[in-house]
Chains A and B, each alone.
Chain A
Amino acid sequence: MRALDLANLRGAQYADVRVVNHREESLSVKDGIVENLSSSETEGVGIRVLVNGAWGFASSREINDVEVDRITAQAIKIAHASGLVSGEKVDLGPKVTSQGIYQTPVQIDPFSVSMEDRLALLMNADAELGKVQGVRTRQSHTTMLKEHKYFANTEGAFTEQTLIETGGGIQATAVGGNEIQIRSYPNAFARQQVTGGWEAMLSWDLPGNAQRIASEAVALLTADPCPSNITTSLILGGSQLALQVHESCGHPTELDRVYGSEAAYAGTSFLTTEKLDNFHYGSPVVNLTADSLRPLGLGTFGWDDEGVPAQSSPLVRDGLFVGYLMSRETASKLGRESNACMRASGWNRIPIIRMVNVSLEPGSWKFDDLIADTEDGVYMESNRSWSIDDKRYNFQFGTEMGYEIKNGKMGRMLRNCTYMGITPEFWNSCDAVCNADHWVMWGTPNCGKGQPSQVAHTGHGTAPARFRNVKVGVLK
């Protein structure tokens, strides 16, 4: 409160302050050897001020009166400098006065699980990976984090949150001749992550899936290559579809990109404001939601970093584009209210618009029925590479593994699978989404945006889906 009072005194029309303590523990095993066993902690305070309609922000690791006074004065000075080259005055819209306490629900606090138990699980998984001949490198890891933060603003908000995440996975790499093949589980890059406790890690059963993953990596070395430059039906597995949603649905609906705030770095968006309520983003089976309430999602919390309460809002309904991911400032500009998408990666960063849990709602298909209904096509799963243009329009993805689909049946395994497309064409070609039985909340703990860079943790619920007339097999 000292910072807010001082900011007011020095002429800030609005100020908010966050005090954050972030603890993380990670453990990784490679080829039976502990590669990393570490604990980390970072804490500090950041103050954001609005002076004459221009922003300033300063932060420090030292949380004491002298330093808080220094950074408050620094933030005010920076805001005055911003005012030298300012545009429209910032309007934050309705006041935010949230109060309360939130904690991620967990069954087993991951920090209460001994390092010995965590290590035993990973060593067990490593041993199972090692039972398959031909695997060159075996990796397994787990990460857990606990972030405790206070937020207060000059409008009367005061919230306290403890967010807990648990993540982990395994990976097998096989090398032969000119081929290098990788398989991961449960998610690409061996990192599934959720808001939740150690029970999530146990539910993934890493040891029980290790031999399968390792065998697939070895089999991929001699699998047939993905057919080259053909147009066919594509069925995407859940985790690959989660990244597809992240890149081609989540990012283009960020309203700061639309308004040009990220133009020099993350890029802009093809979803300009005249398309709102007026553009067929996808086919009628495509329903996308932004929410921060769903269990396990990495975008699940009590309030965002502007103090706006967690909520759920539609982005695409029956294929029609109906909503953005918004901050107070951008929502006000659009004539709407924030849907709680402002998040900072730490005490030393300002909040910017980030995905919360951007999910593809389940459809009606059983997975086996979807395969049986597909005459010719390719099934792909688990991401290996991703690239999309600065408007989030033209994309190309590669996956760890694929299978040919012939006459309604999964056929031969395929290696080096890729597909490419144009975002609205791709989502308009979606004719089937699997049902809630196949729907999983996937975690993407590595979303980069902003300068200085910020890494956000986002959630994406998906079930496998089918897309027609997709170009696949673009490698060289």
Chain B
Amino acid sequence: MIEEKGARELCESILLHCKSNPAEVTLQYNDAELTRFANNNIHQNVAERDVEVTLRYFIGKQIGTASTNRTDKAGLDELVEHAKANARTSPADPNYPGIPEPEAYQRVEAWDAITAACSPEKRARAVGTVCKMAEEKGLNASGAFSTGSGALTVANTQGVFAYHPQTTADFQTVVMSEDSSGRSQESSWKVDDLNIAGLGKEAIETAVRGHNPRRIEPGEYSVVLQHYVTEDLINSLNFYGMGAQSLEEGRSWMNDRMGIQVMSSNVSIWDDGLDPDGSPLPFDFEGVPKQRVDIVKQGVVMGPVYDRYSGAKMGKPSTGHATPISFRDFGPLAINLFMAPGDSSVQEMIASTKKGLYINRFWYTRLVHPRDCVITGMTRDGVFMIEDGELAYPVKNLRYTMPYVQALTNVDAVGKATHILVGEFGGISVRVPALKIHGFNFTGSTM
């Protein structure tokens, strides 16, 4: 791990090489460990220590980028030379708005020393607990328990310097029998906040309840969706339309819908990098402080998130949502998402359903058409038929094809509890409730 003082010195030493031209340095330190298990034993157990140093160098509106993980003198000299050479080759980008001026950002706590020091023995013992619980039920547990620490630093020649240390912890397990499975997951920046035995119990109970699943006919069903499914709904809408670039290019589900109510009035979605109930990050990868952004408010489409580039093109200020340079082609992205809770428990949602499906998780979800964010995917790790307000019997997995905008139009109830999940891809955190939705479209079934 690099302390703030060391990060500042490293950034300054790189920027010094850029002399009179504007430049921006990003440092991402990462010290990560992961214990993976399958068949009730640990089969993969790994650790890595890395840093990515990225330099953007500017000659007027010509931009060159280079990155390295070598922080010795030769490595950094090469970094600077590559960035300069790339800038010299690149024609000017007339839309480039320049690097940001310094702005105060609010520090937010996301570092836990216990998490940073978590040992492989501690992870192994926790994994062992879940494996033993599964074995005692004649089940097969697999999953991963990861802990890590890191720091993001952004600095530029205008005087921006932003530093944010953080820790991460995540436990996820799939517990299987011959004909059923259950899954649970929890993320936190404090490892001791994870209720690992509870997560194991949750997955085991789903697997035990899921024996002898029946095949049912595809078609439209009311569904009660665990928060794991809600995470997929919200993140898909994020990837395919919450960023300003997709809106500007006409391929967002938000296009032509700004200020219009297109979802149920009990749907509110926002991004907030400062909320410690998420996985906080107070500034973006340009060093711009993060703003809270309402994306959907009581069903009304409010607007996308911006970085400086997309903001400049669309006449808006950055909301602090620039992505890492290696992902910048994608445009700005919300990475600290929240969905407002409602007033129902999952049990109440089930009790209020005459006939429908309870679904634990979606799997392999992919965009079929961008306009309404039509997604296809499979159910996985727990599907049950609801009849007369009770879970009646387990069901074989189903394929669905559904416009996610429509899905959030059809929301009948929102869970009162929210849960945070941090995805492996980009560290995007989403705090979401369970949902009850009518008219969900299933198009096929499987083994």
Contacts and interface: CB of A to CB of B under 8 A. Distances in A.
A81 B364 contact: no
Interface in A53-91: 54-62, 71, 74-75, 77-82, 84-87
B91 interface: yes
A82 B443 CA distance: 42
Contacts of A61: 49-51, 69-70
A453 B329 contact: no
A180 B143 CA distance: 38
A41 interface: yes
Contacts of A357: none
Contact of B326 (A40, A55, A136, A418): A40
Interface in B106-154: 119-121, 123-125, 127-128, 131, 140, 142-144, 146
A87 B401 CA distance: 40
Contact of A81 (B35, B48, B66, B367): B35
Nearest to B325: A38
Contacts of B143: 264
Contacts of B408: none
Given A33-B94, A79-B45, A87-B41, A173 B249 contact: yes
B172 A77 contact: no
B384 to A, nearest CB: 18
A106 to B, nearest CB: 22
Interface in A367-422: 384-391, 393-394, 396, 398, 416, 418, 420, 422
B328 interface: yes
A265 B425 contact: no
B376 A41 contact: no
Contact of A179 (B121, B176, B371): B371
A394 B401 CA distance: 13
Interface string B52-70: 1000000000011111111
Given A40-B68, A43-B70, A391-B446, A398 B368 contact: yes
B40 A87 contact: yes
Contacts of B52: 42
Interface in A143-199: 173, 175, 178-180
Given A78-B120, A84-B128, A261 B89 contact: no
Contacts of B47: 57-59, 71, 74-75, 78
Given A36-B328, A38-B86, A115-B86, A82 B42 contact: yes
B378 A390 contact: yes
A19 interface: no
Contacts of A267: 363
B129 to A, nearest CB: 9
Q: Give chain B's interface residue range (CB within 8 Å of chain A).
A: 35 or more
B49 A386 contact: no
A85 B127 contact: yes
A146 to B, nearest CB: 14
Contact of B365 (A35, A387, A475): A387
Contacts of A136: 249-250
B257 to A, nearest CB: 11
Contact of A39 (B66, B144, B364): B66
Interface string A435-471: 0000000000000000111000000000000000000
B63 A178 contact: no
A263 B41 contact: no
B164 interface: no
A74 B329 CA distance: 37
B173 interface: yes
Contacts of A418: 368, 376
Given A38-B325, A116-B89, A59 B48 contact: yes
A453 B69 contact: no
A37 interface: yes
B66 to A, nearest CB: 5
A297 to B, nearest CB: 25
Nearest to A348: B48
B354 interface: no
A262 B176 CA distance: 12
B190 interface: no
A46 B50 CA distance: 12
Contacts of B89: 37, 115-116, 119
Given A58-B47, A78-B120, A180-B370, A28 B329 contact: yes
Q: Give chain A's interface residue range (CB within 8 Å of chain B).
A: 35 or more
B409 interface: no
Contacts of B366: 385-387
Nearest to A63: B70
B447 A38 contact: no
B101 interface: no
B374 A475 contact: yes
A474 B121 contact: no
Which of B90, B140, B143, B173 has its CB near the most chain A CB atoms (within 10 A)?
Answer: B90
A310 interface: no
Contacts of A40: 66-68, 326
A119 B91 CA distance: 9
A383 B66 CA distance: 31
Contacts of B367: 385
A82 B48 contact: no
A59 B34 CA distance: 12
Contacts of B424: 451-453
A476 B401 CA distance: 6
Nearest to A24: B67
B437 to A, nearest CB: 15
A87 B39 contact: yes
Interface string B344-379: 000000000000000000011111111100101110
A349 B64 CA distance: 29
Interface string B230-268: 000000000000000000011100000000000000000
Contacts of B142: 260-261, 263-264
Interface in A238-280: 259-265, 267, 270
Contacts of B20: none
A220 B199 CA distance: 48
Contacts of A93: none
B210 interface: no
Nearest to A453: B424
Given A260-B142, A451-B36, A453-B424, A180 B43 contact: no
B251 A37 contact: no
B9 interface: no
B198 interface: no
Contact of A58 (B46, B128, B176): B46
A175 B250 contact: yes
B32 interface: yes
A46 B89 CA distance: 35
A389 B363 contact: yes
A219 interface: no
Contacts of B176: 263
Nearest to A174: B250
A41 B42 contact: no
Contacts of A30: 329
B314 interface: no
B441 interface: yes
B380 A57 contact: no
A264 B173 CA distance: 6
B82 interface: yes
Interface in B66-93: 66-70, 75, 78, 82-83, 85-87, 89-91, 93
A452 B32 contact: yes
Interface in A333-352: 348-350, 352
Interface in A79-128: 79-82, 84-87, 115-116, 119
Which A-B residue pairs are the 4 nearest by beta carbons?
Answer: A87-B41, A81-B120, A394-B446, A38-B65
Given A61-B49, A85-B128, A396-B443, 7 more contacts: A38-B67, A59-B47, A71-B47, A78-B47, A82-B35, A394-B399, A453-B425
22 contacts: A33-B94, A37-B89, A38-B67, A39-B65, A57-B44, A58-B46, A58-B47, A61-B70, A62-B49, A77-B120, A81-B35, A81-B121, A81-B124, A85-B128, A85-B131, A87-B39, A119-B90, A173-B251, A175-B249, A260-B142, A422-B446, A475-B374
